[in-house]
Amino acid sequence: MSEIAVRFAPSPTGLLHIGNIRPALFNWLFARKHGGRFVLRLDDTDIARSCEEYAEAIREDLHWLGLDWDEEVRQSDRLDLYAEAAEKLKAAGRLYPAYETPDELERRRKRQRAQGLPPIYDRAALKLTDEDRAKLEAEGRKPHWRFKLDHREVAWDDLIRGEQTIDAGSLSDPILVRADGTYLYTLPSVVDDIALGITHVIRGEDHVANSGAQIQIFEALGGSVPWFAHHNMLVGAEGESLGKRLGTLSIRQMREDGLEPLAILSHSAAIGTSDPVTAHQSLDELIESFDLDKVSRAPARFDMSELRGVNAKLLHERPYEKVADELSALGVGGGEAFWLAVRGNVTVLSDALEWWQVVQGPVTPVIEDEELCEAAADLLPREPWDGTTWKAWIDAVKAETGRKGRALFHPLRLAITGRAAGPELGALLPLIGREKVAVRLRGNAA
């Protein structure tokens, strides 16, 4: 086979979100796994809805996620190619003019439904004579152009769904060119796939019927038909449609909320597959575990709390050198000792700020057991403090007060950190230092 080439083809009409990041990721992983080419294709033929700001936002978000591309094309630069293809199809009798208005088409579909017929375009335009057409055009009507499907079964071996057949006779002849001369997505996509040597089209299963029609367009243009893989769609945690919510699940928003690129990618790669959701520490790990065969037919469930769990897991194992710069940008000090003490207690990196505040103070202590706290303050060892300080101190407090278990640890934690839960006290203690620990144990803010 020729060099593997895939593409991610977003329309720059909005921000990337958790739904369209999956085709981006699947295509990217496929390319990287097989040493192929990954093309970013901006589907911007809908001029009214596409804009450069969104194109730029898509590039930025892909960069941030770490999904680099080898080539970028935009459809608005390639209109000549589409015109050429349209002419070729016209010459072959596969693209024909039709004059119905959207209202007329809708009325016809209603009638068909009322008669229990499928609402398929009846090809009335094919029966028009030259005279009819001249008359319609004299009335000021402009034609749109439909692809004349060959009424036969179209079959392909889908890399996710297996053997697929679509009866082209059950589809309407797709409109390829609008009355204003602009293109719908169907033709440009095929023209580009041929021109760019795309070998595998990996996209959502909302495109399955399109594939039936597009395979015929590939053939009519003399291009070689690529492999197809249609992945399952995303639904919410309860199986509900994400529809409008997708707008709020943008990559931008997730980035602002402190989610890590690798958490988003690990989660997106695993949901709706036979793999468990795993926090992968590198893109290489993700590439390693990726396989289209693992994608299931059932929808992929997206659950924000699960994604946040992956994010937490990723950070719990993250070595200091990988977060040092970001921590200092957040204004968090304390070096490696601090990070190792708190990483098990963060969901997003900025949670470290809360613990840094606990270390630095001021913390308003909560005194639940005054007698214990007073005794503990009296028994605080001299500095310097290190990893052994905690055990020596706690043994002494235990012996002096007779407290143990929760009755010992919980009041100390409340006094020293002002919180009921958090990182191991033994690790926090040397970071907070004797002076502040003593003041807090005696019930004063420090």
Dihedral angle of Cα 426, 427, 432, 437, to the nearest 10 degrees: -10
Task: State the minimum distance, in angstroms, from the CB of residue 46 to ligand GLU.
Answer: 9
200 vs 267, which CB is nearer to ligand GLU? 200
Task: State the minimum distance, in angstroms, from the CB of residue 191 to ligand GLU.
Answer: 12
Tokens of 8: 């991610």
10 binds ligand GLU (CB under 6 A): yes
* Upstream peptide bond of 362 is cis (omega within 30 degrees of 0): yes
Binding positions:
244
Task: State the minimum distance, in angstroms, from the CB of residue 131 to ligand GLU.
Answer: 39
203 vs 280, which CB is nearer to ligand GLU? 203
Beta-strand pair 71-74/37-42: parallel
Site for ligand GLU in 403-432 (CB under 6 A): none
Number of residues that bind ligand GLU (CB under 6 A): 8
Integer-rounded Cα radius of gyration of the chain: 31
The DSSP line for 196-245 is TT--EEEEEGGGHHHHHHHHHHHHHTTPPPPEEEEEPPEEETTS-B-GGG
CA–CA dist 192, 369 (Å, integer): 73
207 vs 419, which CB is nearer to ligand GLU? 207
Task: State the minimum distance, in angstroms, from the CB of residue 229 to ligand GLU.
Answer: 11
Around 122, how many Cα atoms within 13 Å sit in the side-chain half-sphere?
Answer: 16
Task: State the minimum distance, in angstroms, from the CB of residue 200 to ligand GLU.
Answer: 11
- The residue range among 7-15, 57-65, 147-155, 432-440 that interacts with ligand GLU, by the rule CB under 6 A, is 7-15
Site for ligand GLU in 245-304 (CB under 6 A): none
9 binds ligand GLU (CB under 6 A): yes
CA–CA dist 307, 309 (Å, integer): 5
Dihedral angle of Cα 157, 163, 168, 172, to the nearest 10 degrees: -90
Tokens of 122: 């009846």
Binding positions for ATP:
244
- The residue range among 5-13, 267-275, 370-378, 393-401 that interacts with ligand GLU, by the rule CB under 6 A, is 5-13
- The residue range among 8-16, 167-175, 265-273, 422-430 that interacts with ligand GLU, by the rule CB under 6 A, is 8-16
Cα-based distances in Å from 18 to 50, 332, 371: 20, 30, 53
Among 203, 318, 343, 413, interactor with ligand GLU by CB under 6 A:
203
Three-state secondary structure call for residue 182: coil
- The residue range among 6-14, 89-97, 332-340, 392-400 that interacts with ligand GLU, by the rule CB under 6 A, is 6-14
133 vs 207, which CB is nearer to ligand GLU? 207
Among 45, 50, 172, 189, interactor with ligand GLU by CB under 6 A:
189
DSSP 250: B
Site for ligand GLU in 128-187 (CB under 6 A): 185
39 vs 283, which CB is nearer to ligand GLU? 39
Place of tokens 């050429």: 84
199 binds ligand GLU (CB under 6 A): no
234 vs 359, which CB is nearer to ligand GLU? 234
Cα-based distances in Å from 121 to 172, 230, 269: 5, 26, 39
Task: State the minimum distance, in angstroms, from the CB of residue 42 to ligand GLU.
Answer: 9
Among 4, 5, 6, 11, interactor with ligand GLU by CB under 6 A:
11
Neighbours of 182 (CB within 10 A): 14
Residues 230 and 160 sit within 8 Å (Cβ to Cβ):
yes
Among 43, 61, 100, 369, interactor with ligand GLU by CB under 6 A:
43
CA–CA dist 263, 267 (Å, integer): 6
Contact residues toward ligand GLU (CB under 6 A) are 9-11, 43, 185, 189, 203, 207
